[in-house]
Structure 1
Amino acid sequence: MAKIETHNWNFLATHRSWEDIASALLGVAVLLAPIAIDVTGSTLALTSAGVTGVLIIALAMLENVSWRRWEEVLEMLAGAWLIASPFVFGYGGVEASFHMLAGALVVLLGALEYWQDRNRAA
């Protein structure tokens, strides 16, 4: 009789510190992106991206101090703002693509962490 393999879904159940580090690194990348790429956005768009990058870094590092689910919610909102900001401020090119990609990764990491922390108190 053939042995049926079962999958270990522990990856989805355990919050790991690399997830917070990855989120913080994405925040650093968003913060430093105007230096690395040709900036086409307005000053308001650059300020928004800088503030959002700092917020993502702070939320990711706060997770190492105090585990709360609201941090992931704010992190997902910050990622969603990064995705929306090229449309709100009307800029395009590499900068817009980078913000949308980084925002999507922040949202995905935040959702994963939120799922992993589902049994914790808010």
Structure 2
Amino acid sequence: MTLPAAHDVIAPDGSEVRILLSLTGGSMAHFRLRPGQVSAAVRHRTVEEIWYVLSGQGEMWRAAEGMETVTALAPGICLSIEPGTAFQFRAGETETLDAIAITMPPWPGEDEAEFVPGPWASPIDRNQS
């Protein structure tokens, strides 16, 4: 399979998703944020993910069990998101941020993502009043 030119869906967090392959144990997708875009902060109920940054710059915030981290995103960075971990990511101001993620088990549907408060304002943040 080759990477589709157009995205298949918009993820609950607002990122563009190009669906790649899926097996019984997991699925793979390409995620994209445009320059300056900020995702909504979410927490996955049951799936865990491994992310690998392909291009661009940005940051990923993760919070679980009272601990918070912000990881600089750049090509070659690989990180994990365990079930129940709140996370939010943003692209740098000048470059599109592209990443591949493996989801285990395969993505079950939109109800998997629960919106949570995050550190950065997002135009689609459902937790702001």
TM over 0.5: no
TM-score class, shorter: under 0.3
Higher helix share: 1
Query: TM-score, length-normalised on structure 2?
Result: 0.23
- Greater Rg, structure 1 or structure 2? 1
Structure (1/2) with the larger strand percentage: 2
| TM, length-normalised to structure 1 | 0.23
